[in-house]
Amino acid sequence: MYLSVIDVKPLDDYVLWLTFENGEEKTFDVKPYLTLGRFQELKDVTLFRTARVCFDTIEWDNHLDLDPEVLYQDGVSQVQSEPELLRVAEESAEYNVRSEN
């Protein structure tokens, strides 16, 4: 069983921001594929930015796609850890206290 991609946003440097059906968000670096066969066409940034959801995965205007299992397994999770969230909240609280003084 694999998870379907429900949203994709092409980012700079040939990276995709992906949202999966379970709500997880991951980034996927396409650069390692840019030397392979027709994937070389994606070096054209204009073409790379045409990435869109198609059925349960992503597809570009040149009809290339990537398996959703590969996107999920090799994607990098973008969930902040609890300590990181606490640090950001503490910094925000400190900034608010300083701003009021």
3-state secondary structure of 30: coil
Q: Which amino acid is at 74?
A: D
Tell me the CA distances in angstroms from 41 to 52, 74, 94, one per residue in order: 16, 21, 48
Map out the domains of the chain as residue ranges. Answer: 5-100
pTM higher than 0.85 for the full model?
Answer: no
- Residue (of 52, 71, 74) closest to 63 by Cα position: 52
pLDDT (tens digit per residue) in 28-54? 999 999 999 999 999 999 999 999 999
Given a cut of 90, whether residue 80 has pLDDT beyond it is: no
CATH fold for domain 5-100: NE0471 N-terminal domain-like (3.30.2020)
Give the integer Cα–Cα distance in Å for 35 and 98: 51
